[in-house]
Amino acid sequence: MSVLFVLVVAGCVDRDLPVATDVDATRGAALFDASCADCHGADGRGGVGPDLTMLSADAGGTFPRDAVMAQIDGLGRHGDSDAVMPEFGAGDMGATVIVEHDGLGTPVPADLLALTTYLETIQR
């Protein structure tokens, strides 16, 4: 399966991170280090938060990209008083890019996609 990324809006340059429309694992790793490692560990294997390196294994061997993006964004848990993880979608998640699959395009914040791309690379 191939996913085509089409840049829709040019992003701003973040102080210490690559350009906001970068959706690769390198940018995702920097975002993870800045926003996720305190709870999920520097290697993603857990700590206060759960192990993020087993998401594919727990989903039958396929990385659950859409579910991961929804969890990070906070979709479906807005206002949930039991939710421990912050709703990162409530903040600035970067410029929008279009993820095209089977002829349908979905706008996704670039930082959300970069972080998800990185998480896919650390699966074991």
Which residues partner with 5 through β-bridges?
99
Q: Which of these, 63, 121, 115, 64, lies nearest to 93 by C-alpha position?
A: 115
Is the pLDDT score of 2 beyond 60? no
List of residues 6+ apart from 58 with CB closer than 8 A: none
The model carries a pTM of 0.79
Domain positions in the chain are: 4-121
How far apart (Å, rounded) are the C-alpha atoms in residues 60 and 52? 15
Per-residue model confidence as pLDDT tens digits over 33-86: 999 999 999 999 999 999 999 999 999 999 999 999 999 998 867 666 677 788
Q: What CATH number should be reported for the domain whose range is 4-121?
A: 1.10.760.10
**Per-residue pLDDT tens over the stretch 90-110:** 888 889 999 888 899 999 999
